[in-house]
Chain A
């Protein structure tokens, strides 16, 4: 069965043959990626391996030079506007703004540097998307936002501005901002890399809970221990290609490829 076969309803996302160059620098050399509903995929690899570019290609922050990205039907059959219908983008031909916008509606992203809106309170940061973009009633969006903030222990910070929060708190708000959009897929771009070491745990704990709840996620991370506990599949990239992929325990516990072995060994030495 072809990996993009529409019969496979458990597929949330399927990417095939993604390529991308920045000038003469080729960063993606044909990447395939499948993400199934309720599963967590961890993208790991040395810096410059292209893992962040893959992630950013999934929501159009980078537009690949070639390849396809396909989203399946949402579990709720498309309750949230048009964001539930199947979507297929072929980057081999020019892709319009509208298609990129449709692609972005499928997912939400958590950034390495949080990228909260500094001029808005915590509550506003979270409700901005639901109210301004999804046109949900303000009262409903605020109630939902407060419920989510309470879950990550930040309900009392609703009126604070981002600069008044620690890095870990800001990133938890960043996660809540993404959740509030009710996306099919959550994308995490090195969510703990900018944090002081003592704040990493609180953010990872939240992400782990989301995984247990059944959110579908793609996480670019350097936290191999975390990836091993949380990810269903680990994809190891190097030099713009996927070197090895498989169940977390296998890729991280007993890697088959030499490059994977070296990488895992190097990272674990640092810890």
Chain B
């Protein structure tokens, strides 16, 4: 087998382009919406109201108990039969946000619970309301605890966005697939795709370590 170096170099462009215009924005948007959703769901889960916490528990259970690919297909291929027709991009962002929301909600809930009760009490005794205490005292401390697991969720999301290729989103992996189908060089193209994912995840791991160091500045070492 002769190695087609020209193809290797010429295909990196579309693959990296797919990362920049597809994978990365899709990840960032889904993670941002997903985190907001997760915070809301975590607070509902912690609510003394049984109906609210029940709804949140049900949501988390469904998201974690079904495959992400099925969630994507329900939204993109399933909803049109109910009259809801969404384009690939909105479908992907909705599916990934809902997915992140389910997983990150449990992380955030556990992080909030890990902050000692005395911190709530101290907030109350200096006159803070429950919301003020949550925002200014509890969440900053919960954030430190939740960075490592949330980073894992984020890195998983980067890789999971490759599934969006199956609902026609033009991203890293779909570009690789198309060139592979056209050139029949499957090994080369899929290894290239793998390499680009890996580099992105390596960069994220480095950023994660830096963030953890920064958030650890007020903790004894």
Contact = CB atoms under 8 A, between A and B. Distances in A.
Interface residues of A, number: 30
A128 B136 contact: yes
A133 B218 contact: no
A220 interface: no
A61 to B, nearest CB: 6
Given A118-B218, A119-B218, A128-B136, A133 B128 contact: yes
B126 A163 contact: no
Contacts of B127: 101, 104-105, 129, 133-134, 181
A115 B128 contact: no
Contacts of B121: 61, 109, 111, 115
A217 interface: no
Interface in B46-90: none
B132 interface: yes
B94 to A, nearest CB: 34
Interface centre among B118, B127, B129, B132 (most CB of A within 10 A): B127
B125 interface: yes
B112 to A, nearest CB: 14
Interface in A46-104: 59-61, 97, 101, 104
A73 to B, nearest CB: 19
A113 B136 contact: no
Nearest to A126: B126
Contacts of B132: 132-133
Contacts of B122: 109, 111, 115-117
A161 interface: yes
Interface stretch (B137-145, B177-185, B193-201, B205-213): B137-145
Interface string B112-156: 000010110110111111101000110011001000000000000
Contact of B136 (A116, A132, A177): A132
Nearest to A61: B121
Contact of A113 (B118, B124, B219): B118
A178 B219 CA distance: 23
B141 A59 contact: no
Contact of A117 (B124, B129, B137, B144): B137
Given A119-B140, A128-B136, A181 B126 contact: yes
A252 B127 CA distance: 35
Contacts of A133: 126-128, 132
B220 interface: yes
Contact of B219 (A101, A107, A118): A118
B67 to A, nearest CB: 38
Given A111-B121, A119-B144, A163 B218 contact: yes
B218 A161 contact: yes
Nearest to B220: A163
A12 interface: no
A113 B118 CA distance: 8
B142 to A, nearest CB: 10
A108 B218 contact: no
Contacts of B219: 118, 163
A108 B122 CA distance: 9
Contacts of A61: 121, 124-125
B129 A101 contact: yes
A95 to B, nearest CB: 14
A210 to B, nearest CB: 17
15 contacts: A61-B121, A101-B129, A109-B121, A111-B121, A113-B118, A115-B119, A118-B219, A119-B141, A120-B218, A128-B136, A133-B127, A161-B218, A163-B218, A163-B220, A181-B126
Nearest 8 pairs between A and B by C-beta? Answer: A129-B126, A133-B127, A115-B122, A115-B118, A109-B125, A161-B218, A163-B220, A119-B140
Given A107-B125, A113-B118, A118-B141, 13 more contacts: A61-B121, A97-B130, A104-B124, A108-B125, A108-B126, A117-B119, A128-B136, A129-B127, A132-B128, A132-B132, A132-B136, A133-B128, A163-B220
Interface of A: 59-61, 97, 101, 104-105, 107-109, 111, 113, 115-120, 128-129, 132-134, 161-164, 177-178, 181
Interface of B: 116, 118-119, 121-122, 124-130, 132, 136-137, 140-141, 144, 217-220
